[in-house]
Chains A and B, each alone.
Chain A
Amino acid sequence: MSGKIRIDIERCKGCGLCVEVCPKGCIFISEQSNKKGYFPAQSNNHECTGCAMCAIICPDVAIEVFRDDNIEAVEPRKRHRPNLVKEKA
C-alpha cells in the first residue's frame, strides 16, 4: 500500500459515504458499535493509495490520510499563510 487512513472510531457516525467513494473498496462498516451506538467505518488499508476521497467527503472530519513519503505529498494544513493572497497577484 502507498497510503493509509486512520478513522477516529468515536467520531465516526457510520454514514457510509466514505465506503461509497473509496475507489479501491478499502473501507467497510464495522460490526462493532462505538460508544455512541454508531457502527463506524473501518479500513483494511490493503489497497489504499492515500487519495483522500474518503476524508474529503467525511462530514465529521473523522479520517486522517497518510501517503508514502517518496510520493508527492500535500503540505499539512497550517493556520497562517498571510502571503498567499498577495502571491496570487
Chain B
Amino acid sequence: MSMKTVFKRTPTLKDYPTHYCPGCGHGIAHRLIAEVIDELGIHGRTIGIAPVGCSVLAYDYFDVDMVEVAHGRAPAVATGMKRTNPDKIIFSYQGDGDLAAIGTGEIIHAAHRAEQITVIFINNAIFGMTGGQMAPTTVLGQVTATTQNGRNANKGQGYPLQVSEILALLPGAIYVERCSVYNPAQIRKTKKAIRHAFELQVDGAAGLSLVEVLSPCPTYWRMTPSKAMKWIEKDMTKVFPLGRFKG
C-alpha cells in the first residue's frame, strides 16, 4: 500500500530550526504566510518586513527578500517600499509591542493613507522578547513583569488596546479581521484571512489589510502550550472577539 504526502513544508518556509519557544504561535503564523505566498505564486515579488520582537529574525525563516526595521516603524517602511515599487507585494509582520505600542502612529497613518500593504499583527498580549512586560494588549488582571499584581486600569495601567476595532473605523483600512490559532479549525480560518489579505494586494485593492492573530506565549503567560491555547479560546477572545470587522 503506497502513501501520498498530504502535508509537507512549503518552499517559502525555510527548513531551518526556529528559536521560538515550544508552543509559540509565531511558528504557525509563519507557516500560513509562507503557504499563502507559494499558493499565490508571488514568491518572486514579495518583500517582507521583520519587526523588533521575538520575530526579529523572521528573515531567517521566510525565503523572500526581507528588511529589518526599527521598532514600530514597519508601516512607514512598507509605505516607502510600496509607493516606489507598486508591483511588489509588501507585507509587514508585527507583534503587539511593535504595532500597538511604539508603532501606533505609523499603523494609523498607513491605514489613513490607504497604503496598499498587508499587515499581519500577532497579538500575544505581552512583550515576549524583552522578558514578559505588559503590552498594550495585555488583558486586565493579567500578571506580567511590569504588572506584578495584575493589570489594573484604576492604577493608571490602562486598558487593553483593541487594534482591529480601531483600525476598522478608518476608511483607508479595507479589510480587518481578527483570528486565532488555538485549534486546527481556527488555524484554517486564519489562513483564509491571511490569504484574503494578500489577495487584496495582488488584485491592487485600494487600501490596507490587517489580520490580527491571537497567538499564545506559553513562556510568559506561565502556562503549558496546551493551557495557553485554552486561555486564548476562553479568556482572550472575551477581550478580543474574533471576526471580520471590515471588508
B226 to A16, Cβ gap below 8 A?
A: yes
A56 to B188, Cβ gap below 8 A?
A: yes
> What chain A residues lie within 8 Å of B26 (beta carbons)?
59
Cα distance A58–B26 in the bound complex, in angstroms: 11
A61 to B9, Cβ gap below 8 A?
A: yes
> What chain B residues lie within 8 Å of A4 (beta carbons)?
3
A53 to B184, Cβ gap below 8 A?
A: yes
Tell me, yes or no, whether B108 is within 8 Å of chain A by CB: no
Cα distance A69–B12 in the bound complex, in angstroms: 26
> What chain B residues lie within 8 Å of A3 (beta carbons)?
3, 6
Tell me, yes or no, whether B35 is within 8 Å of chain A by CB: yes
Mark each residue of chain A from 47 to 89: 1 if its CB lies under 8 Å from any CB of chain B, else 0.
0001011011111110111111110011011111111110000
Tell me, yes or no, whether A17 is within 8 Å of chain B by CB: yes
Partner of B17, one of A15, A20, A50, A60: A60
A17 to B187, Cβ gap below 8 A?
A: no
A73 to B7, Cβ gap below 8 A?
A: no
Query: Given the interface contacts A16-B23, A85-B40, does A65 sit within 8 Å of B188 by beta carbon?
Result: no
Query: Given the interface contacts A4-B3, A59-B26, A59-B28, does A80 sit within 8 Å of B43 by beta carbon?
Result: yes
Main secondary structure of the interface of A (DSSP, over half): loop
Tell me, yes or no, whether A21 is within 8 Å of chain B by CB: yes
Query: Given the interface contacts A81-B39, A85-B199, does A59 sit within 8 Å of B27 by beta carbon?
Result: yes
Partner of A77, one of B1, B4, B8: B8
Partner of A79, one of B1, B17, B41: B41
Partner of A38, one of B22, B24, B226: B22
> What chain B residues lie within 8 Å of A60 (beta carbons)?
17-18, 20, 27
Main secondary structure of the interface of B (DSSP, over half): mixed
CB distance from B135 to the nearest CB of A (A): 20
> What chain A residues lie within 8 Å of B8 (beta carbons)?
64-65, 76-77
> What chain B residues lie within 8 Å of A50 (beta carbons)?
3, 6
Mark each residue of chain A from 16 to 28: 1 if its CB lies under 8 Å from any CB of chain B, else 0.
1100110000000
A21 to B41, Cβ gap below 8 A?
A: no
Interface residues of B in 35-85 (CB under 8 A from A): 35, 38-41, 43
> What chain B residues lie within 8 Å of A67 (beta carbons)?
3-4, 6
Tell me, yes or no, whether B90 is within 8 Å of chain A by CB: no
B187 to A15, Cβ gap below 8 A?
A: no
Cα distance A79–B9 in the bound complex, in angstroms: 11
Partner of B7, one of A13, A15, A55, A81: A55
B11 to A21, Cβ gap below 8 A?
A: no
Tell me, yes or no, whether B229 is within 8 Å of chain A by CB: yes
Cα distance A81–B202 in the bound complex, in angstroms: 14
Tell me, yes or no, whether B130 is within 8 Å of chain A by CB: no
> What chain A residues lie within 8 Å of B4 (beta carbons)?
66-69, 73, 76
Cα distance A74–B28 in the bound complex, in angstroms: 20
7 new A-B pairs (CB below 8 Å) besides A52-B6, A56-B187, A84-B40? A3-B6, A13-B23, A60-B17, A68-B4, A76-B8, A77-B39, A85-B199
Q: List 11 A-B contacts (CB under 8 A).
A: A53-B184, A55-B7, A57-B187, A60-B20, A60-B27, A61-B27, A64-B8, A68-B4, A69-B4, A79-B38, A79-B41
